Structure 1
Amino acid sequence: MSERQSGERLRVAVIVGSTRTGRFGPTVADWFVARARRRAELEIDLIDLAEAALPQTLTDTDEPPPAPVAALAPRLAGADAFVVVTPEYNRSFPAPLKSAVDWFYREWQAKPVAFVSYGNDSGGLFAAAQLRQVFTEVHAVAVHAGVTLPRYWEQFAADGGWPRAGTEYDTAATTTLDQLTWWARALRDARAGHPYPC
């Protein structure tokens, strides 16, 4: 096969989409990554957009990419699947996350993406719905399952841990990872046998 063999581990890039001061995204991402790493078939790459420091102003297509973009490109290209951890701001997702999508194109193509969203009563559903449209435009495949975390600040345990026991978050994470893994393997094999037409 031209890509890695089907039996090899799947590489999943988990992207923290918020860069604002006081963000909760790393807490959510760490919780999700801890569950994903329990699966022997997955290799997790945690990408924090605050650390990636991608420029907000896009260059022209004939210009070389800025250093932060060039540094992140191979990590995205090497991924078999993506999980985007996003808050919901004003019924949408953060601007740095949109810039991150727009800086790349082939890196997203023919790969599955799942969403872990958090917010007020909606749990970030509006942000996730918009991200589904955006990722479809760059030829990624949005999986059906996802994790939504409404009023996440109410889920702290007495000892300060998050989330407290008894939430349904673990069940949602398991279903999301099940579907993401299925799509990641199917699409990796498809890309290996037939390059994606773009």
Structure 2
Amino acid sequence: MAENDAKAGENIRLALLLGSTREGRFCDTVAGWAARQIGRHADFALDIVDPALLDLPPHLERNCRPALAALKRRLDEAEAFVIVTPEYNHGYPAVLKQLIDSAYGVWQAKPVGFVSYGGLAGGVRAVEQLRQVFAEVHAMTVRNSVAFIDAWEQFDRNGNLVSPARAEQSMTMMLAQLRWWACALKQARRVQSYAEIAT
């Protein structure tokens, strides 16, 4: 059925989440590159989610303010996610944890891919921590990811990679895995609501 979905031309609704709100962030450059790569694949319908542009509450609230309710609807409509995250002090930014925790149920039985950046580790330590978090909210993280070591040296002033071949190949493989899981899990959710078995 997943193959039939793809042949029928159903686009996979993919949400690209920016993981930094820091002033002067490099996340715009990396996320811009990721968005262009996703745009090369006609089977994805892209929604870019930038927490810097959202009115997220400063702490977790029982009553959902309108901006957070709108964000939950966007994320609930998504069938797959790509997280663009820096690595700050061997970890991922607090705004990502707030976003994940604020919209708990929307991640269930959906695939997540990662594009990370940083210094010598390229953000992979942040990704490994995020894999644990997404497992707890019942999401499926794909194996392959994209990591930019010393990212500031890899992009030119226009936001293009100086040597794009390897990163583009990695992104293509990650998106292929994301697409496979998105189709498979979409069909599984049609058979049975995952909420029925989530605890």
Q: Give the TM-score taking structure 1 as reference length.
A: 0.92
Match of 1:105 in 2: 104
Once the two structures are superposed, residues 29-74 of structure 1 have per-residue CA deviations (whole angstroms, 9 ceiling, x without a partner) of 11111111111111010111101231231013xxx21222111011
Alignment gaps of 5+ in structure 1 = none
Residue 189 of structure 1 aligns to which amino acid in structure 2? Q
**Pairwise mapping of residues 74-93 of structure 1 onto structure 2 (< 5 A)?**
74-93=73-92
**Pairwise mapping of residues 1-198 of structure 1 onto structure 2 (< 5 A)?**
6=5, 7=8, 8-60=10-62, 64-157=63-156, 160-196=158-194, 197-198=197-198
Alignment gaps of 5+ in structure 2 = none
Q: Report SS of the residue matched to 1:132.
A: helix
Q: Distance in 2 between matches of 1:132 and 1:22?
A: 27
CA RMSD of aligned residues (A): 1.6
**Contact 1:56/1:96 (<8 A) preserved:** no
Q: Which runs of 4+ in 1 moved over 6 A?
A: none
Q: Report SS of the residue matched to 1:107.
A: helix
CA spacing shift, 1:166–1:36, aligned 2, 3 Å: closer
Residue 186 of structure 1 aligns to which amino acid in structure 2? A
More helix by share: 2
Q: Report SS of the residue matched to 2:182.
A: helix
Residue 36 of structure 1 aligns to which amino acid in structure 2? I
Q: Distance in 1 between matches of 2:179 and 2:186?
A: 10
